[in-house]
A and B are shown apart, each in its own frame.
Chain A
Amino acid sequence: MSADARKQAFEDLLTAQAASRINPPLLLPADPYFDLAGEEFGRRLLLTTGSDGAEYCLRPEFTLPIVADYIRNGTREPASFAYHGPIFRQRPDGPAEFTQAGLELLAQRDADLALDRVLAFARDALTVYEVAAPRIRLGSVALFESLLAQLEMPDAWRPRIRHRFGHDEAMDRLLTRLEAAPDVPRAEQPHRDALIEDITEQMVAAGLSLTESRTPSEIADRYLEQQALDAAHVSPQTLALLRRILAISAPALEALSLVEAIAHSEGLDLRAPVASLKRHIDALPPEIEIVFEAGFSPRLDYYTGIVFEIQSAEGQVLASGGQYDRLLERLGATAPIAASGCALWIDRLEAEAAR
């Protein structure tokens, strides 16, 4: 098949999704991206400044403008959107234009079916571009959150561990710190009121506002919590278990059997997220290599259920996506709205086909 024929075949595939074609502006306000994804994503943006100082960026991806538009329209009806067009990112060797295409399914009645549709779409795109030996990395935010909720540990540690999910080094540093925590009784804690008074004095002396940034009580409470945490141990067994599960990375069914075996022997109930993973794996063609990595997650906290990434034989990311139910709330929706989608790197797919 020629490049033109592939392009046409892919267009046909997009049309077959029965989704509204949408083409958000190329020039977008930059603030929502910083608000949503922080400076780490911000440094990938191609920025420009309006004459009034407002910052704009060239469209770096499609999901945010599509979802923001959907929320602005105020409907809660199921909707599906397909897109195909240029995006712009800063690369280490300079700014670059890419072609991205994808599918976003919002507020679908059956969230599992929606994810299956997204996976099927990604798979069909791989077929159009004749990708040889693709590899799907699966991760599950739901599985990790369920595991974390059931592990025995002082509650205050849970959000701290959750926050590091998907960042292997930061997670390793935290677990190492917990493993090394000295088992010594703490000196007596200062009184909260006295502490707040001290902090207030320091802040006033430094000319800091007591309300605009962190407040004296917030600092005092975290200080006391921190002292308590240092004394509140996470048992070596729990930490070892966490490490064992996070280290799981194997062909999907094998990996999930391992998760089940560990859950069984440790008395954990991970049946729901495991069953959900298995259902989606069954829906994928057996000739595609599927790997489940328990520690795999995008570093964005709006992903909720299953997340995936499709790589070429050389390990280049060709597609990525998953379930991101929390994104719509983050962008102002008043109630949780199910969402799943994926983005395809068309230039890389075309490079695979041209091989």
Chain B
Amino acid sequence: MTGLTLAVPSKGRLEQLTRDFFAERGLEITRPGGARSYLGAIEGMPDVTVRFFPASEIARELIRGTIHLGVTGRDLIHETVEHGPASVDFARPLGFGEADVVVAVPEAWIDVTHMHDLADVASDFRSRHGRWMRIATKYITITRQHFARAGIAEYRIVESLGATEAAPASGAADIIVDITTTGSTLTANQLRVLEDGVLLASQANLIVSKTVAWSADQRALCDTLLSRLRD
């Protein structure tokens, strides 16, 4: 096997910015079938197959080792599975798609400014309210990892697949773990990020799978590609 598979986000800003980034370095990504096609190429590099996938699938396939390299958010690598970060190499950050995964509490919780406050609140939440403290998030793996590290075990996750920031007001959860770029959505919902509440600073990365079976030729081709993507 000599060919390489490169996965690129299939739509929206991430697709455009990724193609711009490659183009600025002389690598034109083509998508002959337009937005409804999932196969593409890089001009002048016939051994590289480009596949257009949703960003979360790119993370999953990099970890599984079914594609060689791809562009996706660091957060998705961490979230997909606990051993995700160990299964890939982050070849380089791309300078876009910045977002932080943060812990946010209602602004009215004036006594909670740090994770250690949350540990106190969680530890007697059940005796006060007859239930565990609830955290709304779609970042289940990241939440569990960081809360375990902070020594917080007494909580339940409520899986949220959209509008996580509304969960405290709707009564679905007490606090949230969510992704934010400017913080304006959180502020608008009167939520406040804890001072040590940034669990992960993420951005789009060019990522190389470590679990794929690399041949020497593929490795060499990958090195060539990566060297052309340096600044």
Contact = CB atoms under 8 A, between A and B. Distances in A.
Contacts of A35: 132
Interface string B35-47: 0000000000000
A40 B190 contact: no
Given A35-B132, A214-B121, A219-B111, A206 B144 contact: no
Interface string B123-153: 1110011001000000001011001111101
Interface stretch (A77-85, A100-108, A170-178, A246-254): A170-178
B189 A170 contact: no
Contacts of A171: 151
Nearest to B81: A92
Given A170-B151, A214-B174, A206 B83 contact: no
B151 A206 contact: no
Interface string B142-169: 0110011111011111000000000011
Contacts, number: 96
Interface string A200-222: 00110111110011101011001
Chain A contact-residue range equals: 35 or more
B82 interface: yes
A351 B91 CA distance: 40
A84 B74 CA distance: 43
Interface residues of B, number: 38
Contact of A38 (B109, B119, B155): B155
Contacts of B121: 214, 222
A40 B148 contact: yes
Contact of B155 (A39, A159, A203): A39
A192 interface: no
B108 A206 contact: yes
B148 A199 contact: no
Interface in B167-191: 168-169, 171, 174, 189-190
A163 B168 CA distance: 26
Contact of B116 (A92, A174, A203): A174
B154 A223 contact: no
Interface string B81-118: 01100000000000000000000001111110000110
Contacts of B116: 173-174, 177
B156 A34 contact: yes
Given A39-B156, A40-B153, A163 B123 contact: yes
A38 B134 CA distance: 11
A212 B123 contact: no
A226 interface: yes
A167 B151 contact: yes
A297 to B, nearest CB: 13
Contacts of A6: none
Contacts of A164: 119, 151
A93 interface: yes
The DSSP consensus for interface residues of chain A is helix
Interface string B214-230: 00000000000000000
A202 B144 contact: no
A244 interface: no
Interface centre among A93, A216, A223 (most CB of B within 10 A): A223
A159 B124 CA distance: 9
A160 interface: yes
Interface string A4-20: 00000000000000000
Contacts of A222: 111, 120-121
A299 interface: yes
B117 A203 contact: no
Interface of A: 34-35, 37-40, 42-43, 92-93, 159-160, 163-164, 167, 169-171, 173-174, 177, 199, 202-203, 205-209, 212-214, 216, 218-219, 222-223, 226, 299
5 contacts: A43-B141, A174-B116, A206-B169, A214-B129, A219-B111
